[in-house]
Amino acid sequence: MLRAIGSALVGAELRAGASRATAVAAAAAAARRAARGEPSTSAQARGYAASADASAADAAAAAADGIGMDDSAVERLRQLQQQAGAGKQLLLRVEVEGGGCSGFQYKFRLDSAVGPDDRVFERGGARLVTDAVSLGFLKGAVIEYEDSLMRSAFQVATNPNSESTCGCGSSFVAKG
């Protein structure tokens, strides 16, 4: 039932001109509200979509020169940093390796060290790091944190260097 609601909402958001990430986020929020038995009003939906659009715009602006993070990724990294403790540096490392079902795959892990060839990107106190080779595949990408019934994980929401992705979203075909 929730899957059908989510699919319908994603379709409606996409027809209304929202980005796929915004549409999925709006559908996920509506599904969470429905699961809790809360009504969803069109004003709520419009407010959420406006907030998601602002978040997407912020993340896209940050990604223009490197890799961006949307609000969900920033918030989750802050939570993890608090759990790790004030004296410990915590970074999200994003790497691209050969493999996966589409040729290249994204790898995410928590790290505390920055290497000499690494680039660090920061937004709202959350820090993301990648190596120089992976940056070539990730420049302009936006990272988000998905927290759904199916999984809770960091993922690449958009990547302008990707021609296509697999169904699970963790591997991709690089452009040209």
CA dihedral (48, 53, 54, 60) positive or negative: positive
154 Cβ contact partners less than 8 Å away, ≥ 6 residues apart: 73, 76, 92, 94, 108, 143, 144, 145, 146
The structure's pTM equals 0.65
Structure tokens given for 49: 């979509």
Q: What is the CATH number of domain 64-176?
A: 2.60.300.12
Read off the pLDDT of residues 41-50 as tens digits, 9 standing for 90 and up: 433 433 434 4
Enumerate the domain spans of the chain.
1-61, 64-176
Q: How far apart are CA 136 and CA 140, in angstroms?
A: 10
Res 164 pLDDT > 70: yes
